[in-house]
Structure 1
Amino acid sequence: MPGRAQYDGAPIAIIGNGPVGQTTSLLLARWGIPTVVLDSRDSRDLVGSKAICQQRDVLDIWGSVGVGRQVADEGVTWTVARTFHRDRELFSIEFADRGRSAYPAWVNISQSRTEQILDERIAASPLIDVRWGHDVAAIAEDGTSIVVTARTRENVETVRAPYAVVCGGARAYPLRAMLGVEFEGRTFDDYFLICDIKTDLPEWAKERRFYFDPEWNPGRQVLVHPCPDSTFRVDWQVPPHFDLSAEERDGGLDRRIRQIIGERPYEIVWRSVYRFQSRHTNRFRVGRALLAGDCAHLLAPFGARGLNSGVQDAENAAWKIAAILGGWGDQSLLESYHDERMAAALENLEITTHTMDFLVPQSDAGWAHRRDVLARAEHDMVARRQVDSGRLAEPFWYVDSPLITPSLDRPFPGRPAKGSPAEPGPGVLIPDVPVHIDGDPAARTRDVGRDGILVLTTDGVDRDATERVAARATSAPLKVYAVADIEVDGLLSECLDTGPNEAWVVRPDGHVAAVVAGDDDIALHAAIRRTLGFSTLVDDSTASPV
């Protein structure tokens, strides 16, 4: 277990009991912080598969609360994403692992099943109080607390909390209005038909397939994802004003499916029609409230960045709330949540909007460009790189965060190539590698780092002296290790590309906060303080719980 927050105050309010709210409550419970989870629904809605693609580093976050391995084992693992133009494969992408992660690059499993697994874990926690049928009617602050008023069938209840995490989902318009935030962006005109089809397609069972302009959906595209239990998610782009009921009545849906799977028997498990949106709130933090998940940002799904980024919102919010309540983080961490997760959302929106503009061009010139690129891509590598079938989700790099200490020796080189992790350095998630810690054969860098502040030293650095400096900088749970003492087969040094005389400061969410000279006590002290939101250099952390 991590260093407990030593907190015995009122629970944190979490509004919305979808995957992001569930994850937030479990992460806070891991820190020893109670939560009250409010949801307007009467019970869990397990209709449809919804968000199915879970990225490796999100599985790792769920692993920290005890469910990552189960989600991975129940899901379908895939490591290759193939893109076709008509019936010709243009390219494929395989996903590199900078380290030796405990989880595969991608696992497909229905959101409904993921929610069930998270619910089972929540039911085992005495720190999480789930209240269904609580429709939030008001959110206000009184100076020291945030006050949430919820209507039930019988009465009106008030929850007074030090902070709230608002994860009410895509349709949380009343919640956004209560917080006074705007929801800027656009809605795409074209519709997408989604069907979960149970059938036998063994040759497609371990890969994602994206088709531009196939003969069975001319002028548009189709995406096929494998799912558990011999089920496949198929997304067709369909024209505006598409009528699913009419297509079902006249046999069009059956013909559409048969064009992909042939004469195999099949069963439609779920189907729906969507129009996609790209939107974000203008603020991710309003006073004592933090907005997360689809409540804060809506993304087109080509790239699986919705739920995956929402879980990363949850982790960012949870460790910062825990740090403040534990007395070792400054109140400015709340504003850093806005800075960091807004930057992540804007990155995701830029990527997904670029994809949608290629999938659904908004002008005649855009359509002409798409046709030209796809025609040339069959023979031209340069054109092939212009084909955009969706850049798949990855952890964000907080290189411009106020909590990150830049390094002249390790400048961020920019967005990495598709399928590749970012180069290690300040702001980037530390590689997940096995390490030797206290005889634990299952120890990993991410697990060790999630307990508080982690400092890793390289050759030529006095580890004990580094520990003394770090302890003066913070009262946070602290671990200091020499890389040479804990690495397995030189893997950690290799993955970090370490040099001599370095001290690596790692945050509770696994992101590198700083890489400083190991003999520069002032720089190390300042970097740790900055990581926790403090702007002044003092010998002792004087923050107190709020």
Structure 2
Amino acid sequence: MMSTIGSADPVIVVGNGPVGQTAALLLARWGIPVVLLDRRPERDPIGSKAICQQRDVLDVWETVGAGRRIAAEGVTWTTARTFYRDHELFALTLPDHGSSCFPPFVNVSQARTEQILDERIAAEPLIDVRWSHDVTGLEQDENGVDVRCANGRALRASYVLACAGARGEDIRALLGVSFEGHSFDDRFLICDIRTELPGWSTERRFYFDPQWNPGRQVLIHPCPGSTFRIDWQVPGDYDLAAEEADGRLDRRIRAIIGDRDYEIVWKSVYRFHSRVTDRMRCGRVLLAGDCAHLVAPFGARGLNSGVADAENAAWKLAFVLRGWAPESLLDSYHAERHAAALENLDVTSATMRFLVPHDAEQHAHRRAVLDRAVTDRTAWSEVDSGRLAEPFWYTESPLTTPCSGRPFTGRPPRGTVPPAGPGTIVPDGPVRVEGRDTRFRELARDGLLLLATPGADVAAAAAAAKSCAAPVRVLELAAIDHTGALAGAFGADEGEVWVIRPDAHVAAVLTDPGAVEPALHRALG
């Protein structure tokens, strides 16, 4: 962990859910004191909620000592099966770009994830957790933010990171930001069911129009402890209490699991929303997670995107507070994460148009695609059950230096990743540095990194590093890549210097030694 900054006011993080927890832990890792506020009196460990944790998010959590634990306790799945009525259309096997130590996805309840992150927070002296602190006032000046709470407490912050969740309307109102979008009419029933379903424990299953939910969808995810999360699309006037009372809920469940014992661990009914705020930076207040954007959960883009918000905000706040970067670096938080939110909105809105058609034309299109997909493989790409979460590509970021030799070719095909280049997250792999075996992304997240391929001007890279106030490490790829896997994953050419940000994204790929210093400074805003 970095040394603690001097007498500056702490960063206040509003919202003690997974996004706020992640932000607090990452800020503390950079030596930044944090006060973590939540309006609730205590944690409410109920229900699975956001269960699907993506590989790159596990990687972020590992930087604060939680990723491997969450992965070990979760159920690993690598295959997503899609069905139409009684036909299996296709099965998507998820890729590994590089040699990650984490599986593509693990399923574990949000409640358990929060418990593990709570344990890490309890061991961190720089984080002060305060429950029953409902924020009712935010007043900014040029040096900080005065935060007022409903319990009468007043606190002073250098910056505020608002991770108040989907119900963060009070925070958004205080900041005067919009939250445009719409809500879907159909509702969805969730049941966490403990039972034995042999062969289903390592797969996500998505059913279009099954006979046990005609005209709608069902999604089934495996969870730890022989528990399965089942989501049924139901009509807008669905009445859970009535269905429990007359036995229809039991029949609904048995239509899937058959005549076997089961226990309902948790159940809920919810409605999907697609909304995004117009600003994610409001002076000294940054918005993150569901407080800034809401998307339908098909593809697991909610919590996973929120953790990416937290990491993006944390390193930038830390670099500004430590004097390593100008405050203008924070403008790039909105530029990058708002673009990511719009990407998620576009992807999930397309999914919802396919899952819940709005008009006769959309209904006809969906039926035609599904009918054709039974016998025509070329139709599979048109079947949209949710494009699974993936890191955003900061190719248009003001921090990214374009490279004509490595242009970004747009959103890659479903289930694939773009080639490594400016704006993408780096591939992972085993490396050896000064006799110590570690992973490349662990090195990347220690600060700014200059990675030199064979033939690059290492002396010029080192000189550029010295011109930077922030911590910059210079490493030679050939010296650390003892297995050769990393060079292949990067697709690295001779004579290149890769500028890599503290969130493991590539800021630049350079062949001109004189371009390294400008690219470093650009990466710091």
Q: Does 1:296 align with 2:286?
A: no
Residue 71 (structure 1) aligns with: 70
Secondary structure in structure 2 of the residue aligned to 1:204: coil
Structure 1 stretches of 4+ moved >6 Å: none
Q: Map 1:247-258 onto structure 2 (within 5 A).
A: 247-258=243-254
Q: Which residue of 1 aligns with 2:460?
A: 465
Q: Quote the residue 1:522 is aligned against.
A: 514
- Are 1:7 and 1:325, in contact at CA under 8 Å, matched by a contact in 2? no
Cα offsets for 1:19-66 (capped at 9, x unmatched): 100000000010011100111100001111100000000000000000
* Alignment-mate amino acid for residue 12 of structure 2: A
Counterparts of 1:145 and 1:120, CA distance in 2: 29
Q: Distance in 2 between matches of 1:420 and 1:147?
A: 45
AA matched with 1:137: T
Distance 1:178 1:357 in 2: 33
Give a deviation string over 1:160-200, Cα, whole Å, max 9, x none.
11111000010111110001100010100001111000000
Q: Which amino acid aligns with 1:266?
A: Y
2:274 aligned residue: 278
Q: Residue 502 of structure 2 aligns with which residue?
A: 508
* Equivalent pair of 2:4/2:33 in contact (CA under 8 Å): no
Alpha-carbon distance in structure 1 between the residues aligned to 2:464 and 2:56: 31
Structure 2 counterparts to residues 2-13 of structure 1, below 5 A? 3-4=2-3, 6-13=5-12
Task: State the match for 1:178 in structure 2.
Answer: 174
Q: Tell me, what secondary structure is at the counterpart of 2:106?
A: strand
Aligned residues: 525
Structure 1 residue aligned with 2:412, among 413, 416, 419? 416
Match of 1:209 in 2: 205
TM alignment of 1:77-156, pairs within 5 A: 77-152=76-151, 156=152
Q: 2-side partners of 1:46 and 1:26: how far apart?
A: 20
Residue 149 to residue 126, structure 1, CA distance change in 2 (3 Å): same
Distance, in Å, in 1 between the alignment partners of 2:171 and 2:295 is 19
Task: Give the structure 2 partner of residue 192 of structure 1.
Answer: 188
AA partner of residue 193 (structure 2): I
Deviation string 1:124-147 (CA, Å, 9 cap, x unpaired) is 111000000011110110221111
**Aligned runs of 1:395-434 on 2, under 5 Å?**
395-434=391-430
Question: In the alignment, residue 69 of structure 1 is paired with which amino acid?
Answer: R
- CA–CA distance in 2 between the matches of 1:53 and 1:454? 30
Q: Which residue of 1 aligns with 2:318?
A: 322
Partners of 2:78 and 2:94 within 8 A in 1:
yes
Listed as ranges, the gaps of 5+ residues in structure 2 are none
Determine the C-alpha separation between the residues in 1 that align with 2:4 and 2:325.
11
Query: 1:229-250 deviations in whole A, cap 9, x for unaligned?
Result: 0000000001110010110011
Give the distance between the partners of 1:314 and 1:200, measured in 2 at CA: 37
Mapped partners of 2:461, 2:46: distance in 1: 53
SS at match of 1:203: coil
State the 1:469 CA deviation.
Answer: 2.0
**TM-score, with structure 2 as normaliser:** 0.99
CA gap of 1:15–1:133, structure 2 versus 1, over 3 A, is same
The separation in 2 between residues aligned to 1:469 and 1:454, in whole angstroms, is: 11
The structure 1 residue matched to 2:479, chosen from 476, 480, 485, is 485
Tell me if 1:357 matches 2:356. no
1:447 is paired with a residue whose SS is helix
Partner of 2:257: 261
Identity of aligned residues (%): 60
Q: Where do 1:385-396 residues align within 5 Å?
A: 385-396=381-392
Do 2:465 and 2:473's aligned partners in 1 also have CA atoms closer than 8 Å? no
Aligned-partner residue type, residue 197 of structure 2: L
In the alignment, structure 1 residue 449 sits paired with structure 2 residue 448: no
Alignment-derived partner of residue 222 in structure 2 = 226
CA distance in 2, matches of 1:69, 1:316: 21
The answer as to whether partners of 1:63 and 1:69 remain within 8 angstroms in 2 is yes
Report if the CA contact (8 A) 1:93-1:418 is conserved. Answer: no
CA deviations on 1:260-315 (whole Å, 9 max, x unpaired) are 00001000000011110000100000000000000000010000000000000000
Q: For residue 416 of structure 1, give the secondary structure of its aligned residue in structure 2.
A: coil
Query: Aligned partners of 1:240, 1:383: CA distance in 2, in Å?
Result: 30
How far 1:5 sits from its partner (Å)?
Answer: 6.1
Match of 2:19 in 1: 20
Deviations 1:315-365 (A, max 9, x none): 000000011011111211111000000000000000000000100000011
Q: Superposition RMSD on alpha carbons, in Å?
A: 0.9
Question: Which amino acid in the other structure matches residue 492 of structure 2?
Answer: T
For normalisation by structure 1, the TM-score amounts to: 0.95
Q: Out of 483, 495, 505, which is 2:489 matched to?
A: 495
* Match among 268, 280, 283 for residue 287 of structure 1: 283
**1-side partners of 2:113 and 2:464: how far apart?**
43
SS of the aligned residue for 1:10 comes to: coil
Report deviation, 1:458: 1.0
**Match of 1:539?**
none
Amino acid at match of 2:30: W
How far the C-alpha of 1:87 sits from its partner, in A, is 1.5
Q: What is the alpha-carbon distance in structure 2 between the residues aligned to residue 242 and residue 362 of structure 1?
A: 19
State the alpha-carbon separation in 1 of the partners of residues 73 and 6 from structure 2.
35
1:83, 1:139 → 2: CA distance?
Answer: 47
CA distance in 2, matches of 1:7, 1:61: 26
Q: Distance in 2 between matches of 1:250 and 1:217?
A: 18
Q: Which amino acid aligns with 2:469?
A: S
What is the match of residue 544 of structure 1?
none
CA distance in 1, matches of 2:198, 2:224: 12
